[in-house]
Amino acid sequence: MQETQNWETRGLEVSALGLGCMGMSFSYGPPKDKREMTTLLRQPWNAAITFFDTAEVYGPFLNEETGGPKFSLPFATNW
C-alpha cells in the first residue's frame, strides 16, 4: 500500500512518492514522444503513484496535455 498525503485545501489525496516530469518536455533535449510519455506515466500510476510534479515552463503545458486530460492524472503544476 502506497503512503499518501492529504491536501485538504484542494480536496485531493496523492501518493507520498511522486514522479518529477521535467525531463518529459524540457531540459534534456527536445520534447519526448507523447505516446512514449503516456506509457511512462501509466507505469507509476499502475503502481499507485498518483503525484506528478511539473511546471508550465516545461513546455508550456506539454506534460499536462500528455497525462492530465486523457487519464485524469493529478498534476501539481507551478504557474
Give catalytic residue positions: 58
**Letter string b/e over residues 37-74, b meaning 16 or more CB atoms within 10 A of that residue's CB:** beebbeebbeeebbbbebbeebbeebbbebbbeeeebb
